[in-house]
Structure 1
Amino acid sequence: MGNSAVGADGGARADGEGSGEPRRSRPARHRSFWKELPILVVVALVLALLIKTFLVQAFSIPSESMQNTLQPGDRVLVDKLTPWFGSEPERGEVVVFHDPDNWLAGEPTSHPNAVQKALSFIGVLPSADEHDLIKRVIGVGGDTVECKGSGPLLLNGKPLAEPYVFPGNTPCTDDTRGGRFKVTVPAGKLWMMGDHRQDSEDSRYHQADKNHGFVPVDQAVGRAFVIAWPLSRWATLPVPDAFDRAGINTAAALGPDALALVGAVPAALWRRRREVARGV
């Protein structure tokens, strides 16, 4: 009557069930490597795109404007995650930003092929976007930045020691276009300058544009935090302590009353713990 047995309740039972014979398990089927490969590739590309969009993106340095900190051909990694939490660029950071008002006019542009564009889009290759720049943040909203002659550069009235400035350059340039200036940075804007001061078309030279040389904070892509390639050039890009020495770090900005309050809280807690331990 076929291969199925009928139980007393009229239900069907598989072969061997109830007959005392062990039930055989069917071997699990596995996809072949070649069938799984397209899925793995798609997953990898999606992850790369998400990382590039929200976390970290690679950028290639095209010019000499940030020497000697960055050399042409260096690949830097840019932190794109921190701005998602409301953080804004700070003084001394090396930041990638979108061209705010045609700063790159007249600059030579590369012509990547379709494959390079695709790999750049997903973040496998450095960005092929020719409308991004990289400079150092000198002033943020509320700061006053001033240059007189060859320098030093004044930040909020205090001279700024800048060891990162290209050897042989002066912190300021004594020219008619951008050598002498005094600006107060509006809220939500940045004053950007290259480390190679005599070879950087930065905020100084764009004071006639619609932003008066300032870069809107919302045009910042993120902070460059490491030189990733070539390996011989690998290095982190920390904020120089020159900004701390100038007395404009976060702690100094709190003011003496605020600092006294901050210091008093742990002292009061420590004293209370001692009183409790003594049974006071």
Structure 2
Amino acid sequence: MPSVEQVENELKNIRYRKKFRSTLFSTVSILIVVAAFAVLVSTLFFPVVQVAGSSMEPTLKEGDVLILIKSDNVSYGQMCCVSWQNKSLLKRVVGLSGDVIDMDSDGNVYVNGELLDEPYVEKKELGRCEIEFPYQVPEDKIFILGDQRESSVDSRSSAIGCIGKDQIVGKVLFKVWTKE
């Protein structure tokens, strides 16, 4: 027959195991709920993308991780992510609906007759261009360009052209991680 002390120790161990299981279960449950919430928020409101390619250098480098905000309300100079043929493209908004875009052989961009100030472009160049300038941006479309003009595939390409508002994944909110 066990002593009273042994019975008390065994009851203490049983209560400890029960409390441990309860704490473990509630912690795991909370982590699952938080993870599900984070996935839901990132999918619906704040998508996360990683930069692939060099078309936005020096502003964005390959491997940078960005937080976007889901919105098709973009303005001049903003960087946005657009969906094109199941790919995500990060580019800069240069023209909105109705704007007349012109680009000279030196790579200077004019929007509605005014020279665009582009301090983010290191080397201005016409690059690969398959459209004729001056070009008027169609209704409900935006004209996008990469910062690395000689290698960027953007609205100057007839394959991409102007982007519809329904193709905008979101605009860049901030950079989370920079690959150095």
Instruction: Indicate the TM-score class for this superposition, using the shorter chain for normalisation.
Output: 0.7 to 0.9
Aligned equivalent of 1:56, options 31, 34, 46: 46
Question: Unaligned stretches of 5+ in structure 1?
Answer: 1-28, 103-129, 233-280
1:172 to 2:126 alignment: yes
- Alignment partners' CA distance in 1, 2:125 and 2:75: 19
Identify if the C-alpha distance between structure 1 residues 188 and 51 changes in structure 2 by more than 3 Å, giving closer, same or farther: same
Q: Is the 8 A contact 1:147 1:179 kept in 2?
A: no
- Alignment partners' CA distance in 1, 2:59 and 2:179: 15
Between Structure 1 and Structure 2, whose CA radius of gyration is higher?
1
- Alignment partners' CA distance in 1, 2:111 and 2:145: 13
Which AA in structure 1 matches 2:81? Answer: V
1:188 to 2:178 alignment: no
Aligned to 1:45: 35
1:97 to 2:82 alignment: yes
Structure with larger RCO (C-alpha < 8 A, sep 6+):
2
Per residue, is there more strand in 1 or in 2? 2
Identify if the C-alpha distance between structure 1 residues 96 and 194 changes in structure 2 by more than 3 Å, giving closer, same or farther: same
Identify if the C-alpha distance between structure 1 residues 158 and 171 changes in structure 2 by more than 3 Å, giving closer, same or farther: farther
TM-score scaled by length of structure 1:
0.53
Identify if the C-alpha distance between structure 1 residues 231 and 202 changes in structure 2 by more than 3 Å, giving closer, same or farther: closer
1:79-98 matches, within 5 Å, as 79-80=69-70, 83=71, 88-98=73-83
Question: How many corresponding residue pairs?
Answer: 162
Give the deviation of 1:60 after TM superposition.
0.4
Q: Is the 8 A contact 1:162 1:171 kept in 2?
A: no
Which AA in structure 2 matches 1:192? Answer: I
Question: Unaligned stretches of 5+ in structure 2?
Answer: 1-17
What is the root-mean-square deviation of aligned Cα atoms in Å?
2.2
TM-score scaled by length of structure 2:
0.81
Aligned to 1:230: 178
Give the match's secondary structure for 1:203.
coil
Q: Is the 8 A contact 1:178 1:204 kept in 2?
A: yes
Which AA in structure 1 matches 2:168? Answer: A
- Alignment partners' CA distance in 2, 1:170 and 1:151: 5
Q: Deviation string for 1:236-271 (max 9, x for gaps)? A: xxxxxxxxxxxxxxxxxxxxxxxxxxxxxxxxxxxx
